[in-house]
A and B are shown apart, each in its own frame.
Chain A
Amino acid sequence: MNGVIVQDTLRTNWKQTVYWGFGMGILGLYLVAIASSSEIMASYGPLLESLPPAMLNVIGISDVRMFTTTEGMISSGFVTYAMLMLSVYAVTIGLNITTNEEEDGILDIVLSLPITRTQVITEKLIAFALLSLGVIALCIIFPLIGVAIFNVEVNIGKVILSILTVYPGILLIMGVTSLIGTVARRRLTTIGLSAGFIMASYFINFLGNAASESFAATLQQFSFFYYTNGETVILDTFNPLTSIVLIIVASIFAGLSVMMFNRRDIGL
């Protein structure tokens, strides 16, 4: 593997990374700006603490600290939605692994080169994994700039870690989209199925949050949104193993897509 495709992919897609990272980062900065002026929040801490946890869950608050600490606000206001929005980005890059080029008829040229199919798809996956890291980096940098500008007292380590929990989610969606793309081949079908996967996960997570005493809570554990909202970091219950498992699952999907891509005909 000589890295040529990695380099080329990085070179042709860095702008997309900047746009997404910049856009999401600005939102994070916006949230920090609001958090800095919402001192009023802290004063309601004792009141919220008096509410039973189950009822807090029903109205979407898993823990008081998510709303009475600045890092909690950043996590609940930004990270939660960041995963949903970056899902779109993840699908976009997943499509760029093979589906777009195959649908545009460009893959014939690429595969006529003296490289294996494994190399083509693997290098693309590596490149986009790196670019996603760039997006996450910008998502972290801008809120930190906001913290500095607005002089907000915040646990920076927790902020960084809670945003980082999104990264395995991006890799997972990229892997899923890549696999669907190698099976379905058609761009629209891939987008539809990937979107369905994301929406179903989002919905399951929402139901689980809303009805934590029911079977929905069990189902929630199958949603990647459950593991990528930064909440566990804020609540000091973060288990790095969950992120590692997500990355492993993402790798399995990516591996399956490599296998499928090697087996089938191209351009049919």
Chain B
Amino acid sequence: MRGSIFIETLKQTWKQMLYWGLGLASMGLLIVLMVPVFDMQQMSELLKNLPPIMLAMIGVGKDLDLFATAEGFVAIGFFGKFALIFAVYPVVMGMRITANDEDDGIMDMVLSLPVQRAWVILERFAAYTVTIIGVVAMIYIGMSVGVAFSSVELNMPALAAVIIMLIPVLTFVMAFTMLTATIVRRRQVAFGIITAFVVASFMIQTVGAMAEGTFAEPIGWISFFTYYNAGHILANGLTATHIVSLLALSLVLIGLSIQRFEQRNIGI
């Protein structure tokens, strides 16, 4: 029955979604509560004197005035520095779409059911995407709670854009993980490749930001973290092309995963 795998996957995953969401939401809440510690005005004055490369290194980039605001500090300080940690959840979920069950020998039972292989992937992917949205929503709620229970004044609608942009980025990471796992099959090997990809992306984006005028600057586009520039989103809102690009790429990866999974032998 269509939708059974989707529902069952949600049932099995809601607790993990809750733990991750609460953990990240708590961090968001604490960050918000820390805002009053900083003298934004003084920081703004000082940052103006820093060279562009220095600003890029600390993640402010050209968004100087933005960083000196409470929202900017939260966006760049939290979502910038913790991007690598956010990426862990979609990797874990992506592995669960096929790799874990195949490695555990359970995929035989699943595929003995009257369900196409494509639908196993699609329904599970859809379910885990829902949980990503759940985690992201909890981060927003955590920060909102921080604002509500403190004297901090934050432009939450503006921050919401930064938070929402996590969805296409994390979905892309999950799709990439899924494709890698359908090609490689072995859980550990797939995990190694994906970790390397995420870490390399992070380093290219982080280090590349410092490397203005060097060879590293032009390759920044390879990193998916480049499409998640918290300061830029805060200043300019959501960029439609970035969202569409990431979602389109995700769809391509899903299509390739389905094609690969349909073609190959299971459990060999």
Name the segment of B36-44, B115-123, B139-147, B161-169 touching the other chain.
Answer: B36-44
B30–A203 contact, CB under 8 A? yes
Which chain A residues lie closer than 8 Å to B37 at the CB level? 210-211, 213-214, 216
Which chain B residues lie closer than 8 Å to A211 at the CB level? 34, 37-38
A47–B49 contact, CB under 8 A? yes
| Overall SS of chain B's interface | helix
**Contact bitstring B18-45, A, C-beta under 8 A = 1, else 0:** 0100010001001100100110001100
A216–B53 contact, CB under 8 A? no
* Nearest-CB residue, chain B, relative to A204: B30
Within 8 Å by CB of A210, from B34, B50, B206, B207, lies: B34
B199–A85 contact, CB under 8 A? yes
Which chain B residues lie closer than 8 Å to A31 at the CB level? 203, 207
Q: Which of B27, B37, B200 has the most CB of A within 10 A?
A: B37
Which chain B residues lie closer than 8 Å to A216 at the CB level? 34, 37
* Nearest-CB residue, chain A, relative to B27: A203
Q: Does B244 contact A (CB under 8 A)?
A: no
* Nearest-CB residue, chain A, relative to B57: A67
**Contact bitstring B183-225, A, C-beta under 8 A = 1, else 0:** 0000010001001100110110011001101111000000000
B199–A27 contact, CB under 8 A? yes
Write the nearest CB–CB distance from A134 to chain B, whole angstroms. Answer: 16
Write the nearest CB–CB distance from B10 to chain A, whole angstroms. Answer: 17
Q: Does B7 contact A (CB under 8 A)?
A: no
Q: How distant is the Cα of A129 from the Cα of B225 in the complex, in angstroms? A: 33
B200–A27 contact, CB under 8 A? yes
Which chain A residues lie closer than 8 Å to B85 at the CB level? 199, 202
* Nearest-CB residue, chain B, relative to A26: B200
Write the nearest CB–CB distance from A7 to chain B, whole angstroms. Answer: 21
Q: Does B47 contact A (CB under 8 A)?
A: yes
Q: Does A59 contact B (CB under 8 A)?
A: yes
B84–A84 contact, CB under 8 A? yes
Q: Does B251 contact A (CB under 8 A)?
A: no
**Contact bitstring A71-114, B, C-beta under 8 A = 1, else 0:** 00100010001001100100000000000000000000000000
Q: Which of B16, B43, B192 has the most CB of A within 10 A?
A: B192
**Contact bitstring A50-69, B, C-beta under 8 A = 1, else 0:** 01000100111100000100
Which chain A residues lie closer than 8 Å to B27 at the CB level? 199, 203
Please classify how large the interface on chain B is, using the bins under 10, 10 to 19, 20 to 34, 35 or more: 35 or more
Which chain B residues lie closer than 8 Å to A55 at the CB level? 42-43, 46
Name the segment of A33-41, A230-238, A260-268 touching the other chain.
Answer: A33-41
Q: Does A48 contact B (CB under 8 A)?
A: yes
Q: Does B133 contact A (CB under 8 A)?
A: no
Q: Does B130 contact A (CB under 8 A)?
A: no
Q: How distant is the Cα of A169 from the Cα of B74 in the complex, in angstroms? A: 28
* Nearest-CB residue, chain A, relative to B49: A47
A81–B58 contact, CB under 8 A? no
Which chain A residues lie closer than 8 Å to B54 at the CB level? 44, 48, 67
Chain A residues numbered 3-53 whose CB sits less than 8 Å from any CB in chain B: 16, 19, 23, 27, 30-31, 33-34, 37-38, 40-41, 44, 47-48, 51
Q: How distant is the Cα of A16 from the Cα of B195 in the complex, in angstroms? A: 13
* Nearest-CB residue, chain A, relative to B37: A211
Q: How distant is the Cα of A58 from the Cα of B38 in the complex, in angstroms? A: 8
| Overall SS of chain A's interface | helix
Which chain A residues lie closer than 8 Å to B114 at the CB level? none
Given the known inter-chain contacts A38-B214, A58-B43, A84-B84, please indicate yes or no for A30 contacting B203, CB distance below 8 A.
Answer: yes
Which chain B residues lie closer than 8 Å to A37 at the CB level? 211, 213-215
Chain A residues numbered 212-231 whose CB sits less than 8 Å from any CB in chain B: 213-214, 216
Write the nearest CB–CB distance from B236 to chain A, whole angstroms. Answer: 22
A34–B207 contact, CB under 8 A? yes
A41–B53 contact, CB under 8 A? yes
Q: How distant is the Cα of A211 from the Cα of B30 in the complex, in angstroms? A: 12
B215–A33 contact, CB under 8 A? yes
Q: Does B255 contact A (CB under 8 A)?
A: no
**Contact bitstring B36-77, A, C-beta under 8 A = 1, else 0:** 011000110011011101100110100000000000000001
Q: Does B107 contact A (CB under 8 A)?
A: no
Write the nearest CB–CB distance from A214 to chain B, whole angstroms. Answer: 5
With A33-B215, A38-B210, A199-B27 given, name 18 new contacts (CB 8 A): A16-B192, A27-B200, A30-B203, A33-B216, A34-B210, A38-B53, A40-B51, A40-B213, A44-B53, A47-B49, A47-B50, A55-B43, A59-B58, A77-B207, A81-B206, A85-B84, A88-B195, A211-B34
Task: Please report B residues at the A interface, Cβ cutoff 8 Å.
Answer: 16, 19, 23, 27, 30-31, 34, 37-38, 42-43, 46-47, 49-51, 53-54, 57-58, 60, 77, 81-82, 84-85, 88, 188, 192, 195-196, 199-200, 202-203, 206-207, 210-211, 213-216
8 inter-chain pairs at a CB distance below 8 angstroms, sorted by A residue, are A16-B192, A19-B192, A27-B199, A34-B216, A44-B51, A58-B43, A77-B210, A195-B88
